[in-house]
Chains A and B, each alone.
Chain A
Amino acid sequence: MSLVSRYFRNVGKGIWTVLVGMKITMKHLFTPAVTIQYPDARMAIPERGRNRLYVNMDDCIGCKQCEMACPVDCIKIETAKALPTEDLGVTSTGQKKRLWVTQFDIDIAKCCYCGLCVPPCPTECIYMTNVYEFSEYDRKNLLYNYITLTPEEAEAKVKQAEDAEREAAAKKAAAAAAAAAQKAAQPAQASAPAAQPTASAPEKAAVNPNENKTNLKDPDLGRD
């Protein structure tokens, strides 16, 4: 190709490609916009999208499975054992609640939206919602507090559980002391095996409220 013909070809091509480009932009001028007017219109959230965590405290049994599953430790749960006389009701899945949840904080600023806390939950009360607009001016506001008890109530429940525990421990100690005294009183007696069950009976009764709770917690915990 000679230099001259290349020159003219170049010029012609330049004009032609500009026209092609103009045709394309003109076509796009009349194609509907792909953007949407965000606060007025929203795009559908993907079906399995993971957004803000939510805890339905009515169903929470305080098992701390989610806290343990969390890879970034953004969930913090504290529980207090309920007294045997207290009835906390049952969850919507039928489990009996036996712990007062005195603290259930999710630091959503730390949350990495992995969703690992969701499957371990025995009552399916922690889950990802479709809410994604929760920005805050202050990071402290991203510390979500889910407990249903007021701080005073929570404190009272903690204290009550501690008292109950102390009481049970005292009873246990007393029973042990009594048993020891009984043992000391009849050291030479050959009927020791007969005395043994009587000694352990009060002890068992004293421990019972405590043990009951931990025992009942177990089936829920050990599910997976």
Chain B
Amino acid sequence: MHNFITYYLGTGIFGSLLSSLLPLLWILPYVLLCVWLELKVSAHMQDRLGPMRTGRWHGWAQPIADMLKLLQKEDVIPTAADKFLFVLAPILVFVGGYAAYAAIPFSPAFIGANLNVGIFYIIAVSAIVVIGILMAGWASNNKWSLLGAMRTAAQLVSYEIPASLAILAVVMVVGSLSLQDICDAQSGWLWNWMIFSKFPFMFITFFIYFVASLAEANRTPFDIPEAESELVAGYHTEYSGMRFAIFYLTEYSNMFVVSAIASILFFGGWNSPFGTFMSGPIWGVFWLLSKGMFFVFVQMWLRWTLPRFRVDQLMYLSWKVLTPFALVNIFAVGLWMVLRG
């Protein structure tokens, strides 16, 4: 589709703009779906029903109603806030989350930019989110916001390390940073997926990456930046209306980014699990999205299973458990590569 657009509209400003908006085609319906899914999953895990009225069938229109409400809300900027940074922060956060979509291969035929440093690029742009969050917390001039933002910064910086080390193990095995190459390397059947290679090291790698990615997406049990019961809403306490909606959108789109990366790195990305059956450019989109959605579901599942970590526990997990394990793991994978090829 990207090629299709650039073919007809060229790579001029218009064609580039249009093709850069393509991921929104997925993100917006996905976020609406996810908001609804989160409500329903949380409700049913607690033996409740969740929204049942809006739109008649199981409250399917609830996220649409929520969105319309957010759009109509007054845009409040606190008097004591730093207005420039306050307005800039949600945009920066969104940009950080959205830019990652550029390098995600949705199918063998559709990738925004087939960079040869794809995964590195994604890690790099995701780091912008931290700046945006810190900016939001600082600009709000509110103690909850600032505390939340500082916690986010500490958390994200800590968890970037095990996540990167885990990704590095995959990169070592494939020998490329390009996500398209990583997908290609896993083509074939289910057992060609990265998670099953170099057993059990890739399994451990996946586990480390998944836990770290939860922390990077600020999901429970790592949601201390938002921690509604102690920090009101963390860094977006002061935000309302559209700006709050952007934070929300980014949180959910980040959930998908980390899930998509987990499925690309370890679960074959757009590869069909059944060899050539149901594979191809169109099926590729289906496989990647469904694998991504599965991990999004796992994130929700974990959220409604586990309570929030304490800050010291969070740091313990990152520095004393995940990082040493990731280091040993990467050493083991490297040794395997050297000895067995």
Contact of B301 among A14, A22, A31, A33 (CB under 8 A): A22
Known contacts A29-B44, A37-B49; A24/B321 CB under 8 A: no
Q: Which chain A residues lie closer than 8 Å to B47 at the CB level?
A: 28, 31-35
The reply on B304 being an interface residue by CB < 8 A is yes
Q: Which residue of the partner chain B has the closest CB to A40?
A: B52
| Count of inter-chain pairs, beta carbons less than 8 A | 39
Annotate A144-187 by CB proximity to B: 1 below 8 A, 0 otherwise. 00000000000000000000000000000000000000000000
Annotate A50-89 by CB proximity to B: 1 below 8 A, 0 otherwise. 0000000000000000000000000000000000000000
Q: Are A25 and B304 in contact (CB under 8 A)?
A: yes
A14 to B302 Cα, complex, angstroms: 14
> Considering residues A14, A29, A32, A37, which has the most beta carbons from chain B within 10 angstroms of its beta carbon?
A29
B104 → chain A closest CB, angstroms? 27
Chain A interface mostly helix, strand, loop or mixed? helix
The reply on B48 being an interface residue by CB < 8 A is yes
The reply on B43 being an interface residue by CB < 8 A is yes
Q: Are B44 and A33 in contact (CB under 8 A)?
A: yes
The reply on A216 being an interface residue by CB < 8 A is no
Please provide the chain A residues from 1 to 45 with a CB less than 8 Å away from any CB of chain B in the complex.
Answer: 11, 14, 18, 21-22, 24-26, 28-35, 37
Q: Which chain B residues lie closer than 8 Å to A33 at the CB level?
A: 43-44, 47-49
A118 to B111 Cα, complex, angstroms: 77
A26 to B43 Cα, complex, angstroms: 12
Q: Which chain A residues lie closer than 8 Å to B31 at the CB level?
A: none
Q: Which residue of the partner chain B has the closest CB to A26?
A: B301
Q: Are B45 and A22 in contact (CB under 8 A)?
A: no
The reply on B306 being an interface residue by CB < 8 A is yes
Q: Are A28 and B44 in contact (CB under 8 A)?
A: yes
Q: Which residue of the partner chain A has the closest CB to B207?
A: A15
Q: Are A22 and B302 in contact (CB under 8 A)?
A: yes
The tally of residues in B whose CB lies under 8 Å from a CB in A reads 16
A21 to B45 Cα, complex, angstroms: 11
A137 → chain B closest CB, angstroms? 22
A9 → chain B closest CB, angstroms? 12
Q: Which chain B residues lie closer than 8 Å to A18 at the CB level?
A: 302, 305-306
A3 → chain B closest CB, angstroms? 12
Please classify how large the interface on chain A is, using the bins under 10, 10 to 19, 20 to 34, 35 or more.
10 to 19
The reply on B3 being an interface residue by CB < 8 A is no
The reply on B41 being an interface residue by CB < 8 A is yes
> Considering residues B41, B48, B305, B325, which has the most beta carbons from chain A within 10 angstroms of its beta carbon?
B305
A18 to B214 Cα, complex, angstroms: 14
Annotate B23-53 by CB proximity to A: 1 below 8 A, 0 otherwise. 0000000000000000001011111110010
Q: Are B48 and A35 in contact (CB under 8 A)?
A: yes
Q: Which residue of the partner chain A has the closest CB to B302?
A: A22
Q: Which chain A residues lie closer than 8 Å to B321 at the CB level?
A: 11, 14
Contact of A21 among B43, B48, B305 (CB under 8 A): B305
Contact of B45 among A14, A29, A35 (CB under 8 A): A29
Q: Which chain A residues lie closer than 8 Å to B44 at the CB level?
A: 28-30, 33
Q: Which residue of the partner chain B has the closest CB to A18?
A: B306
A21 to B44 Cα, complex, angstroms: 15
Annotate B183-207 by CB proximity to A: 1 below 8 A, 0 otherwise. 0000000000000000000000000
Q: Which chain A residues lie closer than 8 Å to B46 at the CB level?
A: 28
Q: Which chain B residues lie closer than 8 Å to A31 at the CB level?
A: 47
Q: Which residue of the partner chain A has the closest CB to B321?
A: A11
A99 → chain B closest CB, angstroms? 51
Q: Are B45 and A28 in contact (CB under 8 A)?
A: yes
A33 to B47 Cα, complex, angstroms: 4
A37 to B49 Cα, complex, angstroms: 8
A24 → chain B closest CB, angstroms? 7
Q: Which chain A residues lie closer than 8 Å to B41 at the CB level?
A: 29
> Considering residues B43, B47, B52, B321, which has the most beta carbons from chain A within 10 angstroms of its beta carbon?
B47
Known contacts A11-B321, A33-B43; A25/B48 CB under 8 A: no
B237 → chain A closest CB, angstroms? 29
Q: Which residue of the partner chain B has the closest CB to A28?
A: B45
Q: Which residue of the partner chain B has the closest CB to A23?
A: B305
Q: Which residue of the partner chain B has the closest CB to A24?
A: B305
A28 to B46 Cα, complex, angstroms: 7
A35 to B52 Cα, complex, angstroms: 12
Q: Which chain B residues lie closer than 8 Å to A21 at the CB level?
A: 305-306
A181 → chain B closest CB, angstroms? 85
Please provide the chain B residues from 273 to 307 with a CB less than 8 Å away from any CB of chain A in the complex.
Answer: 301-302, 304-306
Residues of chain B at the chain A interface (Cβ within 8 Å): 41, 43-49, 52, 301-302, 304-306, 321, 325
Can you name 27 A-B pairs with beta carbons within 8 Å? A11-B325, A18-B302, A18-B305, A21-B305, A22-B301, A22-B302, A22-B305, A24-B305, A25-B45, A25-B301, A25-B304, A28-B44, A28-B45, A28-B46, A28-B47, A29-B44, A29-B45, A30-B44, A31-B47, A33-B43, A33-B48, A34-B47, A34-B48, A35-B47, A35-B48, A35-B49, A37-B52
Q: Other than the known A28-B44, A33-B49, A37-B52, what 8 A-B pairs have Cβ atoms closer than 8 Å?
A: A25-B304, A28-B45, A28-B47, A31-B47, A33-B47, A33-B48, A35-B47, A35-B49
Shortest beta-carbon contacts, A-B, top 10: A21-B305, A25-B305, A33-B49, A25-B45, A34-B47, A29-B44, A35-B48, A28-B45, A22-B305, A29-B45
